[in-house]
Amino acid sequence: MMKVEAVIRPERLEQVKKALEEKGFVGMTVSEVTGRGEQKGIKLQFRGRTMEVDLLPKVKVELIVKDDLVDDLVEAISTAARTGKPGDGRIFVIPVARSLRVRTGEEVM
Amino acid sequence: MVLDSGDTAWVLVATAMVMLMIPGVGLFYGGLVRKKDVVSMIGLSFLALALVSVQWVLVGYSLSFGTSVGGFVGGLDFLGLRGVGIDTGDGTIPDLLFMVFQLVFAGITLAIITSAVAERVRIGSFIVFGLLWTTLVYDPLAHWAWGGGWASQLGALDFAGGTVVHISSGFGALALALVIGKRIGFGDHDMEPHSIPMTMLGAALLWFGWFGFNAGSALAADGLAANAFVVTNVSASAGALAWLFASWVRGKPSALGMVSGAIAGLVAITPAAGFVDPLSALVIGAVAGVLCYRALLFRVGRGLDESLDAWAVHGVGGLWGAIATGIFAVEAVGGVSGLLQGNVDQFIAQVIGAVAAVVYAFVVTYALARAVDATMGLRVTEDEEYVGLDISQHGEKAYA
């Protein structure tokens, strides 16, 4: 069981959700975050002056899936979230020890 | 004529009410954009007020209300408010008060057109464009209708600015949007309004201020002002309900649609407020609500990014209002009869006045926008647009 955590552009969220639904990935947690990558945000030029906007708004999407579905999921997210420009985001895959349903207390997956 | 203290008091108040509509436009638009562009959007309306206030005192008032040069534009006799005194004038209010009442109308018109450049305009370029626009588009149009220009000589009626304010800004916005181009990602990803309550607050200020806009245009505290006040409220309400129901047919009854419909009704009654009775206002407002909603759907369907629908609401609503004035005018209200009372000439004059304003506003705005774009660039860079105008243009954030 793995957690797939993707930090993506907010404007790609709708495409990502749609792509995941088509592949049968329904459950997810989405949060609004800010962050920066290796480019340290965006540099704006103003009449010779440089202004850095280092923390840009991003969206974090988290899903818990079985190991054998991870590759499929990662592929779907990266295809749907990609624009090809710096700032498209990152995907992390993290092992999950246990997963419980709050309503019943039962173990899921 | 002798100054009247009642008239003067009312027009002073009405002027302040119209001034409040300008940030009202800013809040209306501010709620409709994404949260990275709110400071910019509200700021553009304040900027319009400040810019036009200075321009109007220096040259604008004279170009609009100076001695007519061929019926097209006013002369330079009132340059720098020369001869515009505190106790002069042919009316019952001071000339200086008439001047400032007209000033806030010019201000709101430039604020309305900012719809077209939402979330992508360079502020420096907007300042230059705005000054050119109010001087070369607004001032002549105000002269045509109110300053003794050719449209008023023809008999075309515009009580409070359906043509001068709304057709000019609405069709100007359409031309401006075509020049500046779509926002990045328009049609590809959602650009949902970030705060509908903010837009509703803006609509509330607009509805309130519109009583000053229309009833103040009587330039007297009299029965005509009362008529304008009543038909304004009737038309706004009919427009709100019409748009609400029209959106309900296609899904849910939209609150945003309801307030947009109110604005459509307010726009459409503007030229007619001193010429029609309350029952006609009901029809004018209801038709405006449906018509402007249809115009919005048409605009979206064509993939046109006239972002906040100044064209659909002010342009189309203003055009309908100008024509409706020619249909519904009754002798008992403003001393002029319309098509329904058999006065075909009035109807034709309305159509000519409105169509001329549509063509003039569209063509001249297009040319000005192209000129500013070619010399300074109307648009921010892609990165600046992505980050948002609040940070890239102002170095400020709406929400910390």
State mean pLDDT over B328-350. 95
E strand or H helix at B17, and its extent? helix B5-32
The mean pLDDT value of chain A amounts to 90
Which two structure tokens, joined as six digits, stand for B210?
């519109």
pLDDT (0 to 100) of residue A109:
75
pLDDT at position A38 over 90: no
How many A/B residue pairs have CB atoms within 8 Å? 24
**Residue B27 CB neighbours (<10 A):** 24
**Residue B31 CB neighbours (<10 A):** 24
Q: Check: CB of residue B239 under 8 Å from CB of residue B265.
A: yes
pLDDT (0 to 100) of residue B90:
76
Which of A84-88, B25-29, B37-41, B97-101 bottoms out in mean pLDDT, i.e. has the lowest?
A84-88
pLDDT at position A49 over 70: no
CATH number at residue B335: 1.10.3430.10
pLDDT tens per residue, range B122-161 = 999 999 999 999 999 999 999 999 999 999 999 999 999 9
CB contact under 8 A, B395 and A51: yes
Distance of CA A105 to the CA centre of its chain: 28
Instruction: Residue B200: give the domain boundaries.
Output: 5-394
**Residue B155 CB neighbours (<10 A):** 14
pLDDT at position B110 over 70: yes
Give the residue on A whose Cα is nearest the Cα of B190: A11
CB contact under 8 A, A44 and B395: no
pLDDT (0 to 100) of residue B189:
81
pLDDT (0 to 100) of residue B15:
98
State mean pLDDT over B378-387. 92
Phi, psi of A32 (to 5 degrees): -85, 125
Instruction: Give dist(CA B129, CA A49) in Å, integer.
Output: 25
Per-residue CA distances from B265 to B3, B103, B202, B242, B281 (Å) = 34, 23, 15, 9, 9
Place of tokens 């173990």: A107
pLDDT at position A54 over 80: no
Q: Does A94 lie at the interface with B, CB-CB under 8 angstroms?
A: no
Domain count, chain B: 1
- HSE of A51, CA atoms in CB hemisphere, 13 A: 14
pLDDT (0 to 100) of residue B400:
78
CB contact under 8 A, A53 and B190: no
Percentage of chain A exceeding pLDDT 90:
71
The pLDDT confidence band at residue B204, using thresholds 50, 70 and 90, is very high
pLDDT (0 to 100) of residue B108:
98
For residue B384, the distance in angstroms to the closest alpha carbon of chain A comes to 7
State mean pLDDT over A50-68. 88
With respect to residue B277, please indicate whether it lies within any of the assigned structural domains: yes
pLDDT at position B368 over 90: yes
pLDDT (0 to 100) of residue B325:
97
Nearest neighbour of B384 by CB, restricted to A12, A44, A57: A44
pLDDT (0 to 100) of residue A47:
60
Which of A46-55, A57-66, B108-117 bottoms out in mean pLDDT, i.e. has the lowest?
A46-55
State mean pLDDT over B386-395. 91
Interhelix angle B38-55/B5-32, nearest 10 degrees: 150
pLDDT at position A57 over 70: yes
**Better-scored residue on pLDDT, B343 or B187:** B343
**Better-scored residue on pLDDT, B174 or A52:** B174
The mean pLDDT value of chain B amounts to 96
pLDDT at position A50 over 90: no
Q: Does B383 lie at the interface with A, CB-CB under 8 angstroms?
A: yes
Q: Check: CB of residue B187 under 8 Å from CB of residue B181.
A: no
Closest by CA position to B77, among listed B65, B86, B91, B88: B65
Q: Check: CB of residue B332 under 8 Å from CB of residue B280.
A: no
Q: Residues 188 to 227 of B: which have CB under 8 A from any A CB?
A: 188-190
pLDDT tens per residue, range B177-203 = 999 999 999 988 888 999 999 999 999
pLDDT (0 to 100) of residue B241:
98
Instruction: Give dist(CA B123, CA B391) in Å, integer.
Output: 12
State mean pLDDT over A22-35. 93
**Better-scored residue on pLDDT, A107 or B292:** B292
pLDDT (0 to 100) of residue A45:
67
CB contact under 8 A, B189 and A11: yes
The pLDDT confidence band at residue A44, using thresholds 50, 70 and 90, is confident
pLDDT (0 to 100) of residue A46:
62
State mean pLDDT over A94-103. 95
CB contact under 8 A, A14 and B36: no
pLDDT tens per residue, range B273-303 = 999 999 999 999 999 999 999 999 999 999 9
Q: Check: CB of residue A39 under 8 Å from CB of residue A87.
A: yes
With respect to residue B369, please indicate whether it lies within any of the assigned structural domains: yes
Q: Does A15 lie at the interface with B, CB-CB under 8 angstroms?
A: yes
CB contact under 8 A, B387 and A15: no
With respect to residue B275, please indicate whether it lies within any of the assigned structural domains: yes
What is the 3-state composition of chain B as percent helix, strand, coil, each rounded to the nearest 5?
70, 0, 25
Q: Check: CB of residue A64 under 8 Å from CB of residue A109.
A: yes
**Which domains, and CATH codes, for chain A?**
2-95 (3.30.70.120)
pLDDT at position A28 over 90: yes
Which two structure tokens, joined as six digits, stand for B84?
């515009």
With respect to residue B400, please indicate whether it lies within any of the assigned structural domains: no
pLDDT (0 to 100) of residue A48:
62
pLDDT (0 to 100) of residue A37:
82
With respect to residue B399, please indicate whether it lies within any of the assigned structural domains: no
Instruction: Give dist(CA B283, CA B277) in Å, integer.
Output: 10
CB contact under 8 A, A12 and B189: yes
pLDDT (0 to 100) of residue A86:
87
pLDDT (0 to 100) of residue A39:
73
